[in-house]
Amino acid sequence: MRLYLIGMPGAGKTTLGRALATAYQVPFFDLDTEIVRRERRSITDIFAAEGEAYFREQEAAMLREVVQAQPEMVLATGGGTPCFHQNLDILLSTGLTLYLEVPLDELVQRLQRSAANRPLLAQLSDPAALAVRMHETFATRQQFYERAPLRTPPTNSVEAVRRLIDRYQTTS
């Protein structure tokens, strides 16, 4: 099994991904963590020193390396991963892609606590500005996310997601 989790920042891709990897007894990878490991610096530092274009190139390269090296895994992608360098095509053609669909208001609440650690959100000082940015970001990314063959149920529980995946695999 290769399962890829996509969705907006704060959707819970890493948390759910770890739990699903444990449930399916396959390795778990977080694409951002893999980039940090290779670059030996934080995502924030990469953005500050090199810019988003450089980060997106590294992200695409790392995605391809992980996919080539891992026949079985659960992979939590970055929020923008499917939107650049034909990454979504790689995800759709090499595994099962699951979109973690979380209401934007809930994402804004979650991200208020961690926005300072996210390079594309760090400069947003108040909840209203964060909400505007999240709505703008979602508007550009939604077309990519919605190409995933699966979307999480509202609960995002491991059991509910496993049932969704199992039903999909038996009918495909």
pLDDT digits (tens, 9 = 90+) for 1-21: 999 999 998 899 999 999 999
- What is the structure's pLDDT at 56? 97
Q: Which two tokens stand for residue 122?
A: 């760090």
pLDDT above 70 for 116: no
- What is the structure's pLDDT at 118? 59
34-65: burial string, b at 16+ Cβ within 10 Å, e else: bbbeebeeebeebbeeeeeeebbebbbebbee
Rg of the chain over Cα atoms, rounded to whole angstroms, equals 16
Phi-psi region of 76 (alpha: psi -120 to 50; beta: other; left: phi over 0): beta
Under the banding of pLDDT at 50, 70 and 90, the label for residue 156 is confident
How far apart CA 147 and CA 142 sit, in angstroms, is: 9
Contact of 7 with 100, CB cutoff 8 Å: yes
- What is the structure's pLDDT at 109? 82
Q: Which amino acid is at 16?
A: L
Q: Which two tokens stand for residue 53?
A: 């274009």
Taking the CA of residue 159 as centre, how many other CA atoms within 13 Å lie in the half-sphere pointing to its CB? 0
pLDDT above 90 for 25: yes
- DSSP string for residues in 50-78: H-HHHHHHHHHHHHHHHHHH-SSEEEEPP
Single pTM value for the model: 0.92
